[in-house]
């Protein structure tokens, strides 16, 4: 049995606690939060779990094996670092840290201490994204040509991070897992409509080799909720609508056929349009799958599918996006 | 009765011919096209209309009052110039010309000869766009904050212009009419997936004063057809779906309320969400309204709602987009 | 503070317990169920609530003011009767009883003892149905001409009641509340596709005075889930889609205009089609509103909106439907 | 080359004329209509076609091989009979006649003269319906359990036939072709909301052997347009939405699994839910396919897929529906 502590019991923390409580090989022994009100909610729901307003109670507790961090982004680095330094495995909310430098440092710290460092890229553990990743890896789509996502709604305005760090981070974690390619450069544009606040509307383009391009449209100020991703391949194309409970993924047998005629100069481009197919998607809660994977990695010395390296790649794109957005779209190269 | 000639009877020309035939105050007397097959289709459908493969037959015909040009973009300038120089009023397909210099020249030519020069920004004459423009002008939306359009499908690849010149031009004509503001800068990104061909996926951001931003997502290689525009205002927001035959426009009484609390540093942003309302939209065919407007402008010396100046503003953005796309999003200022 | 006991902790019971726990003026003191496993779920969630496998523990407990019954239909009558006879107010699941005779007896029993008898017609307490009822009562729709509902999905097959008693009962409770008219006759058709089991596909027509007709389509064996109701009025029409979280109700300004021309024999029927409007709907959980209403009725001697009489009217239609379905649609008159 | 005459150039006639003009092996030589205005439209569009207000000009013309009848229902019988008696092949609009007696007489007349008699059940010639029929015949769906169609909109009120004869007739023609089974009995309910006019809302249930049931919901007074059919099979189920231009047919791998446990009395019914698949549907215009089939039948002595017998089966159900609707749903047996 693995003893887990959770830091942060605000919006996402309750889901993490519940899933580690339900996972057969872990027990949640302590929850820390700065809010007494939040801790009361823990106690009334789970009388057996200890609560504290001091994270040191977690670091100093030798009975705790792993720490799960669900606090604001700007606290991730220090909390995760302290947890690793006190010898605990760490699972940290996305984005992993506020800068790539911080992310790199966490990776080194985990590596040198032989501890598991996992980033909570929850979407990677959904049945839909795993299905899409399989289709891409098995070559079902042919060459992937573009990834195009719209993630908009009348959402909670954040004060410390802009809409890219808040919403596009989900797409970046999916892109990272599904495309599995090195991003080369980023161009981002956006606008704030409340003085002194971060951008609430933003657009992000990521360039890859081989003419692959990804684009993410995020908006906290939209009248309708949309969670729709198109993935265009040379053979087939996918529409992934996370708000569709049943037909979440649709695979279209559509594309173009390029013919280079010999005797004319002009390329001929023909259309191909066939059947559509919507596979059944595994319905297990993503967080349960993820919690078990974290436990498995710790017990059996495995590397998480969403390890520190994956978290770092996402943070690098976020950093570059912030840089580009300041220059109204000027490209930021990724090293 | 106004005598009209149409140049170009390919994809759009037949619609123009039909509408000028149906308009009560005009008659189509001649159609020119380089394809004999196209001209045969004219004759079988309209035996009374003369056909020719030589546009000079139109220029030299003193009985012709106006010329409507529906040919590839790169021919617009020369054809329109010749028509104006032979003393004829001109209606030209969008985009008006291949460069802003050409567009300016056409405007001067029309002005100096006191001829009507109109650009066929068809969407401006749809019931939906006119309704939206009225709502914006009457302040129903409050301050317009953003315009966000997706215009994608498995579309005809063009060889001479990219997807921005082909599809985003529709949005630019709508933006021009609805927002009625001076664009300041453009950032565009995109990609071609067929060697030697223009971009088939592209994204365009336009910056305006007062934190207004417009974004257009265009794609010739999408598995589904989408024609959806969001317009966010400080009071209300619009979703305009051109593929919805009935509820084309939806007006959402949604928004945010910004409160600056006195005793704390943090801005409080609250949500407001109310009713939705879908006004009935005028169903008259846009091109019929447009044809009559062209005739009215000629007869009564009026300035078209979509005159050369409107056409020029659109071409300027297209030019800037082409420049920016080459630099992977680097901003192109508009003078 | 009102002391409530809940009988039955299967599918619906947990929602009832939770809502009476959350209601400010009631306390849940006991839960009875025949399944020990279900009772364990009660105890782990609510350690303070007593559990029992014997309903007599509830009847004999003088500290209990009201009993809420959420058991299979064929047990409603006996359980409710015993509860009333032991002096307790009763809220019972829909349908209220297995026959109109039983329902009448329960009403008499409650009346003679001056106890509140309420039927859990949950939909009546949703924001959507209350909004619709208001629109109808205020004459917004004009004369109501028809009610047409489709309520289908791949649903749990019941063994003791057919799909009309299971699914159409929801519509009947809505119709009862919204139309507020005396049904005159019923015709029902249906089919069973599993030998020895009740009908899993069924269609129900209810006749009212003044040419009002209601129709309900229910199906346990449908590939898609639909919860859509059309209400046609002489002035306006409503589409109510219970699966639409946001635009649940749409009001269409559409209809016909009948003109009786003087000099011709034929009636002229014209169309009228105008705006659509989707009002914001109150989002409070229906069951919370309902629980509070039950408490209010007990405390202040009020008659519930969904009292025994409403429950009886629904059971009468269900009875008539069962009779008609056996005769393949032959009309069953309602007395 | 087959010489065809068309009687009736109102709503549907122009489509028939166009398709027989376009068909490679037929020529339209004459059109008859009682309205001079309609005939003028013929002449302006097709100068070579003769027009007449007297159908006798067609019957007496020996150069005419076949007559296509697109007039009101109550004229079908006499027009078709006269055409057959003057030795011409006949294609007649649906429903074939006003009574089954009339329909039988037409069949006899055609048979005795060895002429082709075809009924224009247009939907049978659409790619979607042909695909569905193939799936059913190949056993892809298993046993067909139910057919459930909704065909509603704010439609043209007819004065001579009710909404079942006007709209449900489409479903009956599809059912006839797809299910290919003998209907046993009919129950229909409905209501008129305009005094003296036929039913504008109606519901039709058709009983078949082997627990197969079909239901059709038709309405001229609905605020939204719906054309949706569900076909439930023991193995798979279909949703056919005729308003969906792309994903017209969806095939769901869903169903139930009935297990009769040995040691318990209760049947266990489990759910099965798998992938969904939307086949590409042939896009050829149905009427073109149908026109060529008519010509082929005449030239090669074949029996039409929608022959007089098919037309008669549809008329029989319509007759029975009219009888049942008068008795508010009482079953009408089909001999």
- Residues forming a β-bridge with A204: A188, A216
**Is the predicted pLDDT of residue A267 greater than 80, yes or no?**
no
Cβ within 8 Å, pair A189-B215: yes
Mean pLDDT taken over chain C: 95
**pLDDT band with cut points at 50, 70 and 90 for residue C257:** confident
Q: Are D68 and D130 contained in the same domain?
A: no
Whole-angstrom distance, CA of residue B189 vs CA of residue A215: 9
**Percentage of chain A with pLDDT > 90?**
88
Whole-angstrom distance, CA of residue D335 vs CA of residue D332: 10
The last residue of a domain, from among D67, D93, D115: D115
Q: Are B148 and B235 contained in the same domain?
A: yes
Mutate to test the interface with D, among C185, C187, C218, C261 (most CBs of D within 10 A): C187
The predicted pLDDT at position C172 comes to 98
Mutate to test the interface with B, among A191, A329, A331, A334 (most CBs of B within 10 A): A329
Indicate the angle between helix axes D36-45 and D13-22, nearest 10 degrees: 30
Q: Decide if A292 is inside a domain.
A: no
Contact B325/B202 with Cβ under 8 angstroms? yes
The last residue of a domain, from among B96, B115, B134: B115
The predicted pLDDT at position B261 comes to 60
Q: Decide if D297 is inside a domain.
A: no
- Tell me the per-residue pLDDT of D154-180, one tens digit each, with 9 for 90 and over: 988 888 899 999 999 999 999 999 999
User: What range does the domain containing A146 cover?
Assistant: 125-285+316-333
Q: Are D62 and D101 contained in the same domain?
A: yes
**Is the predicted pLDDT of residue C267 greater than 80, yes or no?**
no
The predicted pLDDT at position A260 comes to 65
Q: Decide if C293 is inside a domain.
A: no
**How many other CB atoms sit within 10 Å of the CB of residue B63?**
8
Q: Are D146 and D271 contained in the same domain?
A: yes
The predicted pLDDT at position D109 comes to 98
The predicted pLDDT at position D257 comes to 83
**pLDDT band with cut points at 50, 70 and 90 for residue A69:** very high
Q: Are A186 and A329 contained in the same domain?
A: yes
- Residues forming a β-bridge with B33: none
Q: Could you tell me if A271 lies within 8 Å of chain D, comparing CB atoms?
A: no
Contact B147/A219 with Cβ under 8 angstroms? no
Tell me which residue in B273, B274, B278 faces C276 most closely, judged by beta carbons: B278
One DSSP character per residue, A119-161 reads EE-GGGGSHHHHHHHHHHHTTTT-SEEEEEEEEEEE-PPPSSS
The predicted pLDDT at position A258 comes to 81
**Is the predicted pLDDT of residue C253 greater than 90, yes or no?**
yes
Q: Decide if B307 is inside a domain.
A: no
User: What is the rounded average pLDDT of the residues B89-103?
Assistant: 97
End-to-end Cα separation, chain B, in angstroms: 42
Cβ within 8 Å, pair B205-A203: yes
The predicted pLDDT at position B19 comes to 96
Q: Are B231 and B210 contained in the same domain?
A: yes
**pLDDT band with cut points at 50, 70 and 90 for residue B327:** very high
Cβ within 8 Å, pair D223-C207: no
The predicted pLDDT at position D263 comes to 54
The last residue of a domain, from among D72, D87, D115: D115
Q: Are D129 and D273 contained in the same domain?
A: yes
Q: Decide if C304 is inside a domain.
A: no
**Is the predicted pLDDT of residue A335 greater than 80, yes or no?**
no
- Residues forming a β-bridge with B3: B27
The predicted pLDDT at position A322 comes to 97
CATH number at residue A65: 3.40.50.720
Tell me which residue in A273, A278, A280 faces D280 most closely, judged by beta carbons: A273
**pLDDT band with cut points at 50, 70 and 90 for residue B47:** confident
**Percentage of chain B with pLDDT > 70?**
98
Tell me which residue in D148, D193, D239 faces C145 most closely, judged by beta carbons: D193
Q: Which of A217, A146, A334 is nearest to B204 (CA)?
A: A217
**Percentage of chain A with pLDDT > 70?**
98
In chain B, what residues touch C277 (CB-CB under 8 Å)? 275-278
**Percentage of chain B with pLDDT > 90?**
88
Instruction: DSSP letter for B156, please.
Output: P
In chain C, what residues touch D267 (CB-CB under 8 Å)? 159, 194, 196-197
Whole-angstrom distance, CA of residue D258 vs CA of residue B293: 68
The predicted pLDDT at position A44 comes to 84
Q: Are A107 and A145 contained in the same domain?
A: no
- Tell me the per-residue pLDDT of C72-95, one tens digit each, with 9 for 90 and over: 999 999 999 999 999 999 999 999
Mean pLDDT taken over chain B: 95
Q: Decide if C238 is inside a domain.
A: yes
CB proximity under 8 Å: D 174-233 to C: 185, 187, 189-197, 201, 203, 205, 207, 211-213, 215, 217, 219, 221-224, 230, 232
- Tell me the per-residue pLDDT of B278-299, one tens digit each, with 9 for 90 and over: 999 988 899 999 999 999 999 9
Q: To the nearest 10°, the Cα dihedral for D46, D52, D55, D59?
A: -70
- Tell me the per-residue pLDDT of A32-41, one tens digit each, with 9 for 90 and over: 999 999 999 9
**Is the predicted pLDDT of residue C52 greater than 60, yes or no?**
yes
- Tell me the per-residue pLDDT of D40-99, one tens digit each, with 9 for 90 and over: 999 988 888 999 999 999 999 999 999 999 999 999 999 999 999 999 999 999 999 999
Instruction: Say how many CB pairs under 8 Å bridge C and D.
Output: 170
The predicted pLDDT at position D88 comes to 98
- ipTM summary value: 0.93
User: What is the rounded average pLDDT of the residues C64-77?
Assistant: 97
User: What is the rounded average pLDDT of the residues C33-49?
Assistant: 92
Three-state DSSP class for residue C151? strand
Q: Are A188 and A68 contained in the same domain?
A: no
In chain D, what residues touch C205 (CB-CB under 8 Å)? 189, 203, 328-329
The predicted pLDDT at position D269 comes to 82
The predicted pLDDT at position D186 comes to 97
- Tell me the per-residue pLDDT of D254-279, one tens digit each, with 9 for 90 and over: 988 887 655 555 667 888 889 999 99
Name the minimum distance, in Å, from the CA of A258 to any CA of chain B.
8
The predicted pLDDT at position D156 comes to 84
Contact B197/B157 with Cβ under 8 angstroms? yes
**pLDDT band with cut points at 50, 70 and 90 for residue D208:** very high
**pLDDT band with cut points at 50, 70 and 90 for residue C266:** low
Whole-angstrom distance, CA of residue D8 vs CA of residue D55: 10
HSE toward the beta carbon, residue A327, CA cutoff 13 A: 15
Mean pLDDT taken over chain D: 95
Contact A105/A42 with Cβ under 8 angstroms? no
**pLDDT band with cut points at 50, 70 and 90 for residue B158:** confident
In chain C, what residues touch B253 (CB-CB under 8 Å)? 280
The predicted pLDDT at position B264 comes to 55
**Weakest mean pLDDT among A253-262, B176-185, C109-118:** A253-262
Q: Are C235 and C164 contained in the same domain?
A: yes
User: What is the rounded average pLDDT of the residues C239-251?
Assistant: 95
Q: Decide if D140 is inside a domain.
A: yes
Helix (H) or strand (E) holding B201: strand B201-208
Whole-angstrom distance, CA of residue A233 vs CA of residue A256: 10
Number of domains in chain D: 2
Describe chain C by its helix, strand, coil percentages, rounded to 5.
35, 35, 35
Q: Decide if A52 is inside a domain.
A: yes
Q: Are C190 and C91 contained in the same domain?
A: no
Q: Which of A245, A241, A242, A226 is nearest to A150 (CA)?
A: A226
CATH number at residue A276: 3.30.360.10
**Is the predicted pLDDT of residue C101 greater than 70, yes or no?**
yes
Q: Are C166 and C74 contained in the same domain?
A: no
């Amino acid at each position: 049995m693995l003893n887990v502590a959770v830091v942060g019991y605000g919006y996402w923390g309750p889901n993490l606690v519940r899933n580690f409580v339900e996972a057969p090989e872990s027990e949640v022994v302590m929850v820390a939060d700065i809010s007494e009100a939040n801790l009361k909610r823990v106690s009334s729901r789970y009388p057996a779990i200890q609560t504290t307003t001091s994270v040191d109670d977690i670091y100093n507790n030798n009975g705790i094996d792993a720490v799960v961090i669900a606090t604001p982004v700007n606290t991730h680095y220090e909390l995760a670092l302290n947890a690793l330094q006190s010898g605990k495995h760490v699972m940290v909310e996305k984005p992993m840290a506020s800068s790539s430098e911080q992310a790199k440092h966490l990776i080194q710290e985990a590596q040198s201490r032989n501890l598991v460092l996992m980033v909570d890229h929850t979407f990677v553990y959904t049945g839909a994204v795993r299905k899409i990743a399989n289709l891409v890896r098995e070559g079902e789509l042919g060459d992937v040509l573009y990834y195009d996502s719209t993630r908009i709604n009348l959402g909670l305005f954040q004060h410390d991070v802009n809409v890219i760090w808040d919403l596009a981070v989900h797409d970046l974690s999916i892109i990272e897992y599904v495309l599995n390619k090195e991003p080369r450069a980023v161009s981002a544009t956006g606008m704030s409509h409340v003085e002194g606040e971060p951008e609430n509307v933003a657009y992000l383009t990521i360039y890859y080799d081989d003419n692959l391009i990804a684009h993410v449209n995020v908006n906290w100020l939209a009248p309708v909720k949309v969670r729709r991703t198109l993935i265009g391949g040379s053979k087939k194309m996918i529409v992934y609508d996370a708000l569709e409970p049943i037909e979440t993924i649709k695979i279209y047998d559509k594309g173009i056929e390029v013919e280079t005629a010999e005797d004319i100069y002009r390329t001929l481009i023909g259309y191909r349009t066939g059947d559509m197919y919507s596979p059944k998607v595994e319905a297990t809660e993503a967080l349960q799958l993820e919690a078990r994977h974290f436990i498995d990695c710790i017990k059996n010395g495995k590397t998480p599918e969403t390890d520190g390296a994956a978290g770092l790649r996402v943070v690098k794109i976020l950093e570059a996006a912030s840089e580009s957005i300041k220059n109204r779209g000027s490209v930021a190269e990724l090293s």
